[in-house]
Chain A
Amino acid sequence: MNHEEILSVVQEKFLSSELVTAFLCDAKVLRPDCIKKDRLLAIVEYGDEKAVFCLFTSCYPPKSFTDLSIEIVLPIDNSFKCEIDNKPSDPEAILYLNLQSRNNKFKFEIQMTPRVDNFVDDLFRGIEAVNKLPTQPEFVWLKKYDGQKEDDFIAQTMVLPRSGMAHTQVSAPVAIRESLIKRKMSDKEFDYTFTKRFTIFCGTWNVNDKSPVIPLKGWLCVDKEPPDIYAVGFQELDLSKETFLFDQTFREDEWYNAVRTHVDPRSKYVKVEIVRLVGMMLIVLIKEKHMSHVRNVVCDTVGTGIMGKMGNKGGVSIRFDLHNTSICFVNSHLAAHVEEYERRNQDFRDICSRTRFVQPNQLPKAIKDHDQVYWLGDLNYRITELDPLSVKRMVNENNFGPVLEWDQLNQQHKINNVFAGYTEGPITFKPTYKYDPGTDNWDSSEKNRAPAWCDRIFWRGDNITQLAYRSHPALNISDHKPVSALFTSAIKIIDEEKYRKVYEEVIKQLDKMENELIPQVKVDITEIDFGTVRYLELQVRTITIKNTGKLPVEFEFIKKLDESSFCKDWLIVEPYKKCICADESCEIQLKVLINKTSACKMNAGTDKLYDILVLHLYGGKDIFITVNGTYQRSCFGCSIEVLVNLNIPIREVPVGKLVELESKRDQYISNQSTYSIPKEIWFLVDHIYLHGLKEPNLFEQPGLHSEVLQIRDWLDSGSIDPIPGSIHSVAEALLLLLESTVDPIIPYNLHPVCLRASTNYLQCKQIVMDLPEFRKNVFLYLCEFLQEALQHNAENGLDAKTLSTLFGAIFLRDNPNVVQEPQSRINKQIIDKKKAQFVHHFLINDHSDLIFTK
């Protein structure tokens, strides 16, 4: 199928007013616990509104829109974001597409094809267009896809990866189940958690390359009660070149120890984590008694300095889970220079987008993926619109209001250019920058800039109250003053009893859902009786499998233990494997055909018309289908030795008797046997001899299948009526009979000798003379008959060459059980030629001497 054909199938999935403007095949959805393949991404347009759809295709390429189910719908609105990455290991061929819309985030893996450009162009056009709209679109048309999406989504996560688990265990289900349980549990969090308030101290200080030569008590230990958590951030810890280039500094230990020494002595604290990038350092401490409830501690650093990479500017962060609440602390040092607020906004955005907390078996978390975020640091925003002197005057009079209105950060925050969604408490302290170190005097250098509130603390999350926000001017070794904020924050704590209850409920729900989604089908017949089955007579029965479940079902007839095929060789099942859509049915044809191979086994009693088929539903149950029938035995598929010993029609021979005869067929000798050649061969040959020697195209024109079957019945039942059918049908029946014998007329073990001797009549004669008795009889009898037929070549058009080729292939029939070396066609032609050559001698030479030697 080409792109346009698939497009038309995809388009059918939508209304005609909803236009598929671009799509990609072969997409994968990357989820934390699994990768889902065979997805198709489509951009669909309805009026001005566009949305990205992720569809699952049950077969690829999708042949009909019913093969597609909608899995994810992402409206392109102003919350829509698209990031494109190359796959690091394979940047040329694989792209990652991170799409985000209304708090739903998905990562797709797509193949780099020329179509990708189109798709991405279309996507960006959509994003551009929606941002130009005066009002946000409502996406009413997407509502109808919503319910569908959730059902399908759960259905697929639950069912599809499990396919085949019954018979080949796959590891995905447990992981999927665990992650589903996690998701469900987090949805129900309120049912099993209660909250408890924790106090959190956040401090930030740009120490301007100084060592901790003064006590920090006046900053870290000023509150009535010791806080539960300390998050202390430093900037410009060390401005030396060595630190910048090699990221090594002794100051890390100095300041860490200073903090440890000066935190509230009334409580015992332990380190949660410490992280540093060049001069930015963040320390998180927690009361020892809480530490056992701290999990999944991860940190990350992002440099936004020179070249957007170096660590002289940027952010360092620590995240962890405390009880059931996820907390993230960020310490950042944003771009300097008074006018560069845009650059600072950009640094903020870069830190947000580039900070990634990587945990095993989980998608990386970003800063915003946390219940609570505390962001502190030297954010470097200034006051540029006011005259420095009047700023100093106003702040000296503690008249901060008018100055704060001109604070770049307040201005940018108000218009959501930075710290959107974050809160900052009211500022009631003097600007913290810039002072002459060691004093409380404003910077006396020539730059003469307005003082500014560079050092700030923001937060994000529910149930957080700021108790204090202040600076600590007494700590004056730097050109910045330290700032701190104290919060009381609600931490969710698990009620174990309730948790267990909710957990068991969730499990119960999942079980129920999973069991409902187990494929269900109805098979109309599980016992198939073919009745009487005759040689070479095809019989067909049909069973109908109806998918009565909610999802597509894939079935397959599977092999039983230690068997090489899912059914016996006389049975054909079509189709043996297929996917059935919900509410649809599939007809399966079971065909029985007893050919010479299976007839031999039936006659010898090594096989019977009975089989149990195992119809397996992927992800579901197995259904046993019993196939039964009675084989009406025939002279076809018997050995020559057995046939010469049957003096009654084969149908009258008791079953056990035939099996017994076949088992001892090597022991028969002529004087005990009834006939010198099988009577069936004689009947057929004699009929042609009497009525058909002059028949044009003898042995070349095929007979009628129905007449061949009548002749079979005539032979098997020992009818006294004349042989039915035309000469050609009789001739074909003869060939088929000769072909069907258990062994060929010339036993397999003599074939190599025959081929080697094929040019030498005397040797060939010797071989024939040494044949087992009944084989020799049949061989010579037939050759004699063929010589007779050649006498009439004027009428029947036969020639010795054609006949010897035809009968060479029969007398020296290849052994089907021997796996032949891959024969080239030329090789096969040579062998066929030699076989013909061997027989040819006996068609042109008088070999009556052989007959008379008997």
Chain B
Amino acid sequence: MATNRSGASQRPNGAPQTKVCQFKLVLLGESAVGKSSLVLRFVKGQFHEYQESTIGAAFLTQTVCLDDTTVKFEIWDTAGQERYHSLAPMYYRGAQAAIVVYDITNQGGAGVCGMRAIFTIELPTRDTFGRAKNWVKELQRQASPSIVIALAGNKSDLAAKRMVEFDEAQAYADENGLLFMETSAKTAMNVNDIFLAIANKLPKSEGAGGGSAAGARRLADGEQPRSSTCCK
């Protein structure tokens, strides 16, 4: 005799829901283009002029509320140095979203001194945009086919020293079906927006193929060939 009408919606009549979709997002790009700074701005609203180099993969979470769902990002901010390149698949495999970052001045780390400089002199001539394209190619080849990729041209506050034209990057992004924005971790320009754009683009409804929160998680499980080879 018991009936249960706790249907799909948590709240009657479109009141906000507490449904949380969880997605893994990875940041890739040359070192010193501002990956960690973007995350720090997005998660904590802070900016450090002398951001320490990431040696490993930093992990943070941040939630954005959309109209109908709440999207929780698990953010993996990877080390940009070339010697850690081979470890990147550990982080982009199973990721539902990626932000590939370059430096619009193309001189990542320019003007940075001290300890940071030691880590940024690995490549004498930096082509952070070219490097970003390589990351996009690698993601298209190796990552989940449904991964949502955003291209971020960071350091837009340094437009005076611009080496990569907006239109060039936009054209490249359009060609490859990427979200694209020029961002500035320093001024916060477009930082929330790019994450929000990704959140909006990620499939959330059951019908859209991405599945609900649970679906998103299952997807992640299924795409984690690593679970059998690591953490054992």
Residues of A within 8 A of B (CB): 164-169, 171, 173-174, 177-178, 181-182, 185, 273-276, 292-301, 323, 358-360, 494, 496, 499-500, 503-504, 507-508, 510-511, 514-515, 518, 526, 556, 558-564, 612, 614-616, 620-624, 626
**Contact residues in B for A299 (Cβ distance below 8 Å):** 1-3
Residues of B within 8 A of A (CB): 1-7, 11-16, 18-20, 22, 24, 43-44, 55-63, 65, 70, 72, 74, 76, 79, 83-84, 86-87, 89-90, 93-94, 213-214, 217, 220-221, 224, 226-227, 229-232
Given contact pairs A178-B19, A558-B230, A300 touches B2 in the complex (Cβ within 8 A): yes
The reply to whether A503 and B16 form a contact with Cβ atoms under 8 Å apart is yes
- Bound together, the chains give a CA A612 to CA B3 distance in angstroms of 58
- Shortest Cβ distance from residue A641 to the other chain B in the assembled complex, whole angstroms: 34
**Contact residues in B for A323 (Cβ distance below 8 Å):** 12
- Bound together, the chains give a CA A500 to CA B6 distance in angstroms of 21
At the interface, is chain B mostly helix, strand, loop or mixed?
mixed
14 A-B pairs with C-beta separation under 8 A? A165-B74, A166-B76, A169-B24, A185-B18, A360-B6, A507-B63, A515-B60, A518-B59, A518-B60, A559-B231, A560-B230, A614-B90, A621-B56, A621-B58
**Contact residues in A for B86 (Cβ distance below 8 Å):** 560, 612
The reply to whether B87 and A293 form a contact with Cβ atoms under 8 Å apart is no
> Which of A174, A185, A612, A626 has its CB near the most chain B CB atoms (within 10 A)?
A174
Which chain B residue shows the least CB distance to A179? B18
Partner of B20, one of A177, A296, A496: A177
- Shortest Cβ distance from residue A364 to the other chain B in the assembled complex, whole angstroms: 12
Given contact pairs A174-B217, A621-B59, A292 touches B20 in the complex (Cβ within 8 A): no
The reply to whether A561 and B93 form a contact with Cβ atoms under 8 Å apart is yes
- Bound together, the chains give a CA A614 to CA B16 distance in angstroms of 41
Which chain A residue shows the least CB distance to B72? A177
- Bound together, the chains give a CA A526 to CA B231 distance in angstroms of 21
The reply to whether B4 and A178 form a contact with Cβ atoms under 8 Å apart is no
- Bound together, the chains give a CA A526 to CA B79 distance in angstroms of 13
- Bound together, the chains give a CA A564 to CA B58 distance in angstroms of 24
**Contact residues in A for B63 (Cβ distance below 8 Å):** 507-508, 510-511
- Shortest Cβ distance from residue A564 to the other chain B in the assembled complex, whole angstroms: 8
- Shortest Cβ distance from residue B164 to the other chain A in the assembled complex, whole angstroms: 29
Given contact pairs A559-B232, A612-B84, A166 touches B61 in the complex (Cβ within 8 A): no
**Contact residues in A for B94 (Cβ distance below 8 Å):** 169
The reply to whether B56 and A623 form a contact with Cβ atoms under 8 Å apart is yes
The reply to whether B229 and A295 form a contact with Cβ atoms under 8 Å apart is no
- Bound together, the chains give a CA A178 to CA B87 distance in angstroms of 33
Which chain A residue shows the least CB distance to B5? A297
- Shortest Cβ distance from residue A522 to the other chain B in the assembled complex, whole angstroms: 12
- Shortest Cβ distance from residue A491 to the other chain B in the assembled complex, whole angstroms: 12
**Contact residues in A for B83 (Cβ distance below 8 Å):** 612, 626
- Shortest Cβ distance from residue A438 to the other chain B in the assembled complex, whole angstroms: 33
**Contact residues in A for B13 (Cβ distance below 8 Å):** 292-293
Given contact pairs A507-B63, A612-B87, A623-B55, A296 touches B6 in the complex (Cβ within 8 A): yes
The reply to whether A499 and B16 form a contact with Cβ atoms under 8 Å apart is yes
**Contact residues in B for A616 (Cβ distance below 8 Å):** 231
The reply to whether A500 and B87 form a contact with Cβ atoms under 8 Å apart is no
- Bound together, the chains give a CA A620 to CA B231 distance in angstroms of 14
- Shortest Cβ distance from residue B122 to the other chain A in the assembled complex, whole angstroms: 13
**Contact residues in B for A185 (Cβ distance below 8 Å):** 18
Give me the 5 closest cross-chain CB pairs, A-B, nearest first: A623-B56, A559-B230, A621-B59, A622-B57, A169-B220
- Bound together, the chains give a CA A282 to CA B84 distance in angstroms of 69
The reply to whether A561 and B62 form a contact with Cβ atoms under 8 Å apart is no
**Contact residues in B for A273 (Cβ distance below 8 Å):** 3
The reply to whether B5 and A295 form a contact with Cβ atoms under 8 Å apart is yes
**Contact residues in A for B18 (Cβ distance below 8 Å):** 178, 181-182, 185, 503
- Shortest Cβ distance from residue B22 to the other chain A in the assembled complex, whole angstroms: 5
**Contact residues in B for A499 (Cβ distance below 8 Å):** 15-16
The reply to whether B84 and A624 form a contact with Cβ atoms under 8 Å apart is yes
The reply to whether B16 and A171 form a contact with Cβ atoms under 8 Å apart is no
Which chain B residue shows the least CB distance to A566? B230
**Contact residues in B for A511 (Cβ distance below 8 Å):** 43, 61-63
Given contact pairs A518-B59, A563-B229, A614-B90, A359 touches B4 in the complex (Cβ within 8 A): yes
**Contact residues in B for A165 (Cβ distance below 8 Å):** 74
Which chain B residue shows the least CB distance to A562? B229
**Contact residues in A for B3 (Cβ distance below 8 Å):** 273, 297-299
**Contact residues in B for A503 (Cβ distance below 8 Å):** 16, 18, 65
14 extra interchain contacts, Cβ-Cβ under 8 A, other than A169-B224, A297-B5, A496-B16? A166-B74, A169-B217, A171-B217, A275-B2, A295-B12, A359-B6, A499-B16, A500-B65, A507-B65, A558-B231, A559-B230, A561-B230, A621-B58, A624-B57
The reply to whether B2 and A168 form a contact with Cβ atoms under 8 Å apart is no
- Bound together, the chains give a CA A301 to CA B227 distance in angstroms of 47
Given contact pairs A169-B94, A556-B231, A615-B56, A515 touches B217 in the complex (Cβ within 8 A): no
**Contact residues in A for B56 (Cβ distance below 8 Å):** 526, 614-615, 621-624
**Contact residues in B for A622 (Cβ distance below 8 Å):** 56-57, 59, 90
> Which of B7, B63, B224 has its CB near the most chain A CB atoms (within 10 A)?
B63
The reply to whether A614 and B60 form a contact with Cβ atoms under 8 Å apart is no
The reply to whether A507 and B16 form a contact with Cβ atoms under 8 Å apart is no
Given contact pairs A292-B13, A515-B60, A559-B229, A181 touches B20 in the complex (Cβ within 8 A): yes
**Contact residues in B for A563 (Cβ distance below 8 Å):** 229
**Contact residues in B for A171 (Cβ distance below 8 Å):** 214, 217
- Shortest Cβ distance from residue A736 to the other chain B in the assembled complex, whole angstroms: 35
- Bound together, the chains give a CA A614 to CA B58 distance in angstroms of 12
Which chain A residue shows the least CB distance to B218? A171
> Which of A274, A293, A511 has its CB near the most chain B CB atoms (within 10 A)?
A511
**Contact residues in A for B79 (Cβ distance below 8 Å):** 624
- Shortest Cβ distance from residue B36 to the other chain A in the assembled complex, whole angstroms: 11
**Contact residues in B for A620 (Cβ distance below 8 Å):** 59
The reply to whether A295 and B59 form a contact with Cβ atoms under 8 Å apart is no
Given contact pairs A173-B22, A276-B1, A559-B230, A292 touches B12 in the complex (Cβ within 8 A): yes
**Contact residues in A for B4 (Cβ distance below 8 Å):** 296-298, 359-360
**Contact residues in A for B89 (Cβ distance below 8 Å):** 561
**Contact residues in B for A556 (Cβ distance below 8 Å):** 231
- Shortest Cβ distance from residue A21 to the other chain B in the assembled complex, whole angstroms: 41
The reply to whether A614 and B87 form a contact with Cβ atoms under 8 Å apart is yes
**Contact residues in B for A173 (Cβ distance below 8 Å):** 22
**Contact residues in A for B214 (Cβ distance below 8 Å):** 171, 174
The reply to whether B62 and A178 form a contact with Cβ atoms under 8 Å apart is no
Which chain A residue shows the least CB distance to B67? A500
Given contact pairs A296-B4, A359-B4, A504-B65, A166 touches B59 in the complex (Cβ within 8 A): yes
- Bound together, the chains give a CA A393 to CA B123 distance in angstroms of 107
**Contact residues in B for A526 (Cβ distance below 8 Å):** 55-56
- Shortest Cβ distance from residue A466 to the other chain B in the assembled complex, whole angstroms: 28
Partner of B12, one of A168, A293, A562, A624: A293
The reply to whether A560 and B74 form a contact with Cβ atoms under 8 Å apart is no
